Chains A and B, each alone.
Chain A
Amino acid sequence: MTSEKKGWGLSFPFILWSVGFTLIPLAVITRYAFTDPDGGLTLDNVLAMGNRINGQAFLVSLLVAFICTLLCVLLAYPMVMAIRRLNLSSSAFILIFLILPMWMNFILRILAWQMILSDNGILNHFLTILGLPKVFIANTWLAVIIGVTYDYFPYMMLPIYTAVSAIEKDITEAARDLGAGTLGVFTRVIFPLSLPGLFSGITMVFVPSMTSFAVADILGGGKTQLIGNIIEQEFMRSSEMNLGSGLSISLMIFMLITLPVTVGRSGKEEGSRDI
């Protein structure tokens, strides 16, 4: 038996599972998307993304996702550099640090943010003690952005951290010897070498943050509708299976168009390996 054949054999249970529970369900949702409740072919459900309410939610989601992804990147790089500078690079410690919050219940974590950010909440309490003016961000898109950024930060941080920690100290020291300053080392050595991690972080954060309906529901007070909220309501409240599927499929199509730009460059396999 050749190793190629053996390889397929060992992968067989996984292939079976993926075809049965990933690919066929995707085929089912596609079928719903392109038919009306009576079974006739139609494009209306997929094109419904373009109407006023859905289109608006889509644009809001894009904006929220863009800001959250950017915030995650801006928070992650200084942290990775800080870890590198202080020689904390015990990967066990960083992983525990980032993954541990996930063991506090997800919905409770978001509710805790609600308590922190509410008008009479903990944040305003501290601001008052410090003699600063109160901030009123509860039930706004800003609160949603904080919640989503909080939720997805580890997914950005881990791949960037993995990519950066793979860079040998010798390389950065060589750059220094050749005259690069701290900024130069970052922009010309560390950043370019961390790109695969960055791209994989972006793919792990961008699309999910467009659809985190529970976060928008709890922190946005029903005022900020992400496309995820619209899709969820089509299924769970109005039982519009076809319309909901149509919207999901147009979201996927959008994803398929935008993702390869980033995934393609990150070399796929390297990508999300360490998450």
Chain B
Amino acid sequence: MRDRAVNFITRFYLLLIFLFLYSPIAVLMVLSFNDSRSRVVWGGFTLKWYERMFTSPHITDALVTTLALAFFASLLAVLIGFPASFGICMLRRSGRSVMMTLVNIPLLDADIVTGISMMLFFMRFMELSFSSVLIAHTVFCIPYVILALMPRVEAVDWTPYESALDLGATQPYAFLRMVMPQLYSGIISGFFMSLTMSMDDFAITYFTKGAGVNTLSTMIYGEIRKGIKPELYALSTVIFMAVLILLLAVNVATRKKGGETGEGRAY
């Protein structure tokens, strides 16, 4: 009896947290079907914002910038972070702690300080443009890749690799066939985490972007006083649903494959 009551409270609490995390998202989704520009009045159901989503060059530009930025920043972060996570694992204590400090700086620094320091740097030595935002995003994505990969690199089982070498495989071939498969899930976690952080960033983009470069976030921030275009609710809903479906599909697929529970299919 008492157990049941506690179980009920537990479920109720999870429901409350769910409401807290997802109610703003529900609001935006409902608004994307609202046949009225007003943010408070329900004017009936419509799909017109979904039809008009891509007609404004303003919005498509920002969308392309946001996606390109997220993709290339995550790619660069993996290219730099992957060898580094091997490197750091090979270091002795002191070198390792120096490197971990370096990894943690962008995570622990306030966004605004990271953004401004890079803005001042770019103004002095380069110029503010798309590349400056790309560099800035890569800076804060690398730590996520390294932190996702390091535990996997440390847990790598090297015996199959050594057996492959004994059987005459070349080092790169043995690495590719015996070690890489143990790391794919870590690379995907790191890449996905980077994508998420890049898509979700506002402050660092805000400071490091050049004139005329806008991500969805900075564009929306600039238009708050003019009023938000409902097309943006539709676009954000589409992005959200696409990621939700992708994650569920990946999750179901890995579960079917019967991979190890938990760790292996982190996302």
Question: Which residues on A are within 8 Å of B, measured CB to CB?
Answer: 3-4, 6-15, 17-18, 21-22, 24-26, 28-29, 32, 75, 78-79, 81-83, 85-86, 89-93, 95-113, 115-116, 118, 120-122, 150, 153, 203-204, 207-208, 210-214, 218, 228, 231-232, 235, 241, 244-245, 248, 251-252, 255, 259, 263, 268-269, 271-275
A212 to B202, CA, bound (A): 10
Chain A contacts for B24, CB-based, 8 A:
101, 104, 109-110, 112-113, 116, 150
Q: Kindly list 12 other residue pairs between chains A and B, CB separation below 8 angstroms, not including A29-B121, A275-B107.
A: A10-B83, A13-B83, A21-B138, A21-B139, A24-B121, A28-B117, A32-B120, A100-B240, A102-B197, A121-B40, A122-B27, A235-B119
Contact call A106/B105, Cβ cutoff below 8 A: no
**CB-nearest residue of chain A relative to B12?**
A82
Give the A-B contact count at a CB cut-off of 8 A: 269
Chain B, Cβ-Cβ closest to A113: B24
Instruction: Give the distance in Å from the alpha carbon of A189 to the alpha carbon of B118 in the complex.
Output: 44
Which residue, B27, B40, B135, B203, has most C-beta atoms of chain A within 10 A? B27
- Of listed A6, A21, A89, A109, residue having the most chain B CB within 10 A: A21
Question: For residue B146, which residues in chain A have a CB less than 8 angstroms away from its CB?
Answer: 14
A162 CB, min distance to chain B CBs, angstroms: 11
CA distance A235 to B199 in the complex (A): 24
State which of B18, B40, B87, B197 has its C-beta within 8 Å of the C-beta of A9. Answer: B87
Cβ of A116: which chain B residues have Cβ within 8 Å of it? 23-24, 27
| A10 with B217, Cβ < 8 A, contacts A100-B247, A218-B224 known | no
In the complex where A29-B116, A150-B24, A203-B108 touch, is A17 in contact with B100 (Cβ < 8 A)? no
- Whether the pair A208, B111 counts as a contact (CB closer than 8 A) is yes
* B110-A211 in contact (CB<8A): yes
In the assembled complex, the CB of B254 is this many whole angstroms from the nearest CB of chain A, namely 8
CA–CA, A91 to B264, complex, Å? 10
> Which chain A residues border B201 with CB–CB below 8 Å?
106
Q: Which residues of A contact B196 (CB under 8 A)?
A: 99, 102-103
Query: How long is the Cα–Cα vector from A273 to B266 in the complex, in angstroms?
Result: 13
Question: Once bound together, how far apart are the Cα atoms of A268 and B107, in whole Å?
Answer: 12
Q: List 21 A-B contacts (CB under 8 A).
A: A6-B90, A12-B87, A13-B79, A14-B146, A17-B139, A21-B136, A21-B138, A29-B120, A82-B14, A83-B14, A86-B10, A104-B240, A105-B216, A105-B217, A111-B228, A207-B108, A214-B221, A251-B113, A263-B104, A268-B100, A269-B150
* B193 cross-chain contacts in A, Cβ below 8 A: 99
**Contacting residue for A108 out of B40, B79, B233, B266, CB 8 A:** B233
B142 located at the interface, meaning its Cβ lies under 8 Å from any Cβ of chain A in the complex: yes
Bound CA–CA A223/B201 (angstroms): 24
On chain A, the residues within 8 Å of B199 by CB distance are 102-103
The answer on a CB contact under 8 Å between A10 and B84 is yes
Q: How many residues of B contact A (CB 8 A)?
A: 100
Main secondary structure of the interface of B (DSSP, over half): helix
| Contact yes or no, A263 B108, CB < 8 A | yes
B150 to chain A, nearest CB (A): 7
A47 to chain B, nearest CB (A): 18
Query: In the complex, what's the smallest C-beta–C-beta distance from B32 to chain A, in angstroms?
Result: 10
Q: Is B92 at the interface (CB under 8 A from chain A)?
A: yes
- List, in ascending order, chain B residues with CB within 8 A of A98's CB: 21
In the assembled complex, the Cα of A64 lies from the Cα of B72 at a distance in Å of 35
Is there an interface contact between B95 and A4, defined as CB atoms closer than 8 Å? yes
- The residues of A that contact B107 with a CB separation of less than 8 Å are 204, 272, 275
CA–CA, A218 and B220, complex, Å: 12
Cβ–Cβ < 8 Å partners of B81 in chain A: 14
- Which residues of B (76-106) have their CB < 8 Å from a CB of A? 79-81, 83-84, 86-92, 95-97, 99-102, 104-106
